[in-house]
Amino acid sequence: GRYPVFYLLHGGGDSDDSWSTVGRAGFILDNLIAAKKAKPMIVVMPAGHTSRAPRVPGTMTGDEFPQEFMKDILPYVESHYRVMTDRGSRAIAGLSMGGAHTLNIAIPNLERFGYIGVFSSGVFGIVPRPGAPAPQGPPWEEQHKEALANAKARQGLKLFWFGTGKEDFLLETTRATVEMFKKHGFPVVYDETGGAHTWIVWRNYLRDFAPRLF
């Protein structure tokens, strides 16, 4: 048999084993599947820091990873593992930097993803933050205007979920991002929870997000 596939991305300064160690993703998903609350799925946890990118927590590492994801990671997974390849069987989510990566991957390729999750994140630089470097180039919304206007691609999106804690330093970034997507007609689900930019929050988000998939 074949399984739906869930791409789960880590945050800045973390690595490809962060979700399975401190994030406890295997335990969370195994328990949900055993309780019949989530469907069996293949979870792919790639390394999101590209070779040339600086390892600076809280900053975006350029756009190399989204290119690598679409060019190398996704085709590799689909040719080497028993995954279903229809849109409704493909989910992507990430925390912090991984949430920004999720948007940079999924929005330009919306026809490929049925489920999108953004944990404690949003479009980096959408609201100015004290001490943060000024964003380079045109604003994100301008860069992605064709994708944002594609109503046909938007219709097949089954879930577009954001979660951020009220004590999170990226709270205003999330709120502004959610408003921007709503303005463009996206069916955003936004869960503003307690908590800060910490793993206890992200484990809860995985627990809440996974049962909604597939």
Give residue 117's pLDDT: 98
Structure confidence at residue 129 (pLDDT): 75
User: According to DSSP H, which parts of 121-209 are helical?
Assistant: 140-143, 145-148, 151-155, 171-183, 199-209
Residues of the chain with pLDDT under 70: 51-63, 135
Burial (CB count within 10 angstroms: exposed 0-12, middle 13-18, buried 19+), residue 127:
middle
Question: What predicted TM-score, i.e. pTM, was given to this entire model?
Answer: 0.94
